[in-house]
Amino acid sequence: MAAIGYARVSTRDQNPDAQTDALTAAGCEKVFVEHASGVLAKRPALEDALDYLREGDSLVVTKLDRLGRSVRNLKEVADGLQQRGVGLKALSQGIDTTTPGGRLFFHMLAAIAEFEHDLIVERTHDGLAAARARGRKGGGRFKMTPTKAKQARAMYEEKTYTVQQIAETFGVSRGTIYRHLTEDH
């Protein structure tokens, strides 16, 4: 039943001492230190820490954001630990998943974060639907104005230019030219 620490700083310039000191003071017998951004998928020190942990051990971090790249990733790590019989402790948040209250608190935080994410997605979809209802389209600007599209069609119908030449003339892809040629006008 060992406490194993994991500390992460985003850059080589940052000093992990505050985290390692807190983890040592919390009784961690070994501390794995990562010098990498949390958004990176590959974190060798975390992988080493996870490999080192045995059933009954606890992974200890100073804050949850040191452990996961996102709420979803954090939940995946926590679920993986739980399946292996390993606890998770976050010192600054007072989370300890080895206790029923700690598990409840952690899952409530994860549920709230997931709910917030779902609300953002829903608002984004609603906003896009409202914009479409007002006649706005998403995406970038049109590469060809209606006038240029007519010119391209005329060049194509003359049969003296290839689609590639027409595309180069207007600075667009062949696909854009084909799309304008097949549109009903």
Cβ(149)–Cβ(180) below 8 Å: yes
CA 160 – CA 185 distance, rounded (Å): 22
Please write the tens of the pLDDT for every residue from 78-133. 889 999 999 999 999 889 999 998 888 888 887 887 888 889 889 988 888 888 88
Residue in the block written with tokens 């010098």: 35
pTM, entire model: 0.62
| 173 included as an active-site residue | no
pLDDT at 32: 96
CATH of domain 3-112: 3.40.50.1390
- Among residues 10, 37, 58, 70, the one annotated as catalytic is 10
CA 138 – CA 123 distance, rounded (Å): 15
Under the banding of pLDDT at 50, 70 and 90, the label for residue 136 is confident
Asked whether residue 185 carries a pLDDT value surpassing 60, the answer given is: no
Largest CA distance in the chain: 82
Contacts of 99 (CB under 8 A, 6+ apart): none
Please write the tens of the pLDDT for every residue from 7-44. 998 876 688 999 999 999 999 999 999 987 756 668 89
Please write the tens of the pLDDT for every residue from 137-151. 766 667 788 888 899
Poorest-confidence range of 67-71, 72-76, 102-106, 175-179? Answer: 67-71
CA 20 – CA 6 distance, rounded (Å): 8
CA 99 – CA 105 distance, rounded (Å): 10
**Chain centre distance of CA 152:** 42
| Average pLDDT for the chain | 88
The domain spans of the chain are 3-112, 146-182
Distances (CA, A) of 28 to 7, 82, 114: 11, 19, 30
Give the DSSP H/E element, type plus range, for residue 152: helix 146-158
